Amino acid sequence: MRCSSNSSYTRFDYSPLTFRVYYSPITSDGIDFNHDGQLDEKWIYKDYRISRVISDRNLDGKEDVTHHYDRHGLIYITKSEDDFDGPYETTSKYKRGNVYLQESDTNNDGHTGYRAHLKHGVFSEVELIEPHFNTTKKKADIFNEQIDLFRIRF
């Protein structure tokens, strides 16, 4: 950015890149599933590319899940609120469109309660986290132990 001064005013010459970053169009659209006048799913675009999708899954008028997309249109993170009590408690991280890590606050204390690692979108390891020390209490390697997820006792 160049600054040229005159006796009456100061003028800034912005580069095309600066202009594009600060003045890129952000638009939104969505759908109202229950016809209450509020969008239940909202799509946010930046530079005519999908940037975020915000959804109200239980149709109570509050955001329940937010998907974030990179500039190529691939999802890279999802934050969800699964018990519909207010704050987001589950975060899913993606690599090449597949979930590779999922963390959740199981008791709304602000700390991660469990962490699940996934390979190619399939659970491979689940660990319970000690909330005050952020250390693993119990870890289950699903591929090697051939265990049923519903029978894990932690």
The pLDDT tens digits of the residues spanning 17-31 come to 555 555 678 888 999
The per-residue pLDDT for range 65-82, each reduced to its tens digit, is 999 999 999 999 999 998
Q: How many residues does the chain have?
A: 154
Model-level pTM greater than 0.75?
Answer: no
Q: Where are the domains of the chain?
A: 25-70, 89-154
Separation between Cα atoms, residue 141 and residue 138, nearest integer Å: 10
Separation between Cα atoms, residue 111 and residue 78, nearest integer Å: 17
* Residue 25 neighbours by CB under 8 Å, 6+ apart: 45, 46, 47, 48
